[in-house]
Amino acid sequence: MRLIIMPDQHSATRLAAGEIASVINSRTKPVLGLATGRTMEGVYRHLSTFHHELGLDFSHTSSFNLDEYVGVPASDTHSYHHYMNDLLFRHVNISTHAVHLPNGMATDLNAECAAYEQAIIDHGGIDLQLLGIGDTGHIGFNEPPSPFDTRTRCVTLNARTREQNAPMFGGNPEDVPSQALTMGVGTILEARQLLLVALGSSKAEIVAEALEGKIDPQVSASAVRLHTNCTVILDKESASQLTPQTRKKADYLRK
Ligand code: F6R
């Protein structure tokens, strides 16, 4: 695992966007695994800027998002479909046919999850999977406990996750959907490269637990340490509870 600690959120998200851009530039048909949430807003802003100012070309790129709420239509402003269109897809030249998110409105959710797994295989697998970390230690919506061989499936969201995401639903955790479709930890670990990004002091405790605690299904983000090509990008605040030994092993980049 490569750990990089950046001075602030702007430089951390810019570096993450740069890693994604390298994958886009180095493959003929790049396949990205994408995440949503507040952490990724800056990453997508930088990617949009790279497209407009540096000509980063998304025309051959396909994408698969980690998750989507159950029962929220794509047209709803709370859906992850809407989030992705709003923050990334409409700003770059990615084809609408090349972007994939699980359909949380499907009548047969199990069939939808199986089809999603198959679509990833049909695209040759994911080159780079972008990940945030939730307050429960989840990646995707893999709430504790999520065995490391789990696949795309319907899950019940932890009360803490509904609290974490309440601000996007007007502040009341009860208004956050109780279920979601998510790639499994096993699905995520099959990506050829993982890129985990965490920002801010609110993530410091769970970041330390995921990177230094037991590798355990109770903290699904700890599974990234099992991957042979994983980069973790933190800002100073989210790295603040790591031990000096871990921090000594990190790269510190200035820009
Ligand atoms: C979202 C996702 C989640 C978030 C995590 C962090 O697609 O998969 O794992 O990455 O909940 O969310 P933020 O960035 O809002 O703190």
129-152: average pLDDT: 98
49-67: average pLDDT: 98
How many angstroms separate the Cα of 20 from the Cα of each of 30, 78, 150?
A: 10, 25, 25
Rounded distance between C-alpha atoms, residue 221 and residue 205, angstroms: 13
Q: Give one DSSP letter per residue of 31-64, joined into a string.
A: EEEE--SHHHHHHHHHHHHHHHHH----TT-EEE
17-43: average pLDDT: 98
Q: Whose CA is nearest to atom 2 of ligand 1?
A: 140
User: What spacing in Å lies between the alpha carbon of 47 and ligand 1's midpoint?
Assistant: 18
User: What spacing in Å lies between the alpha carbon of 93 and ligand 1's midpoint?
Assistant: 24
Strands of the sheet containing 62-65, edge to edge, are: 99-100, 62-65, 31-34, 128-131, 194-198, 230-235, 2-6, 251-252
* pLDDT category of residue 103 using cuts at 50, 70 and 90: very high
105-123: average pLDDT: 98
13-19: average pLDDT: 98
Cα dihedral 215, 205, 253, 11 sign: positive
Closest CA to 238 of 225, 247, 249: 247
Statement: residue 255 has pLDDT above 90: no
Range of the domain at 110: 2-252
pLDDT at position 124, please? 98
Ligand 1 in reach of 46 Cβ (< 6 A): no
- Domain count for the chain: 1
* pLDDT category of residue 59 using cuts at 50, 70 and 90: very high
39-44: average pLDDT: 98
Ligand 1 in reach of 68 Cβ (< 6 A): no
pLDDT at position 245, please? 95
CATH code of residue 68:
3.40.50.1360
54-73: average pLDDT: 98
Ligand 1 in reach of 36 Cβ (< 6 A): yes
SS (H, E, C) 149-182: CCCCEEEECCHHHHHHCHHHHCCCHHHCCCEEEE
User: What spacing in Å lies between the alpha carbon of 98 and ligand 1's midpoint?
Assistant: 22
pLDDT at position 110, please? 98
141-151: average pLDDT: 98
Share of the chain above pLDDT 90, in %: 98
b/e map of 182-216 (b: 16 or more CB within 10 Å)? bbbbbbbbbbbbbbbbbbbeebbebbbbbbeeeee
- Strand partners of residue 231: 2, 195
pTM over 0.95: yes
Pocket test for ligand 1, best of 84, 100, 138 (most atoms within 8 A of CB): 138
The model's pLDDT over 194-224, given as tens digits with 9 standing for 90+, comes to 999 999 999 999 999 999 999 999 999 999 9
pLDDT at position 253, please? 79
3-class SS of residue 197: strand
pLDDT at position 186, please? 98
Confirm if 138 and 204 have CB atoms less than 8 A apart.
Answer: no
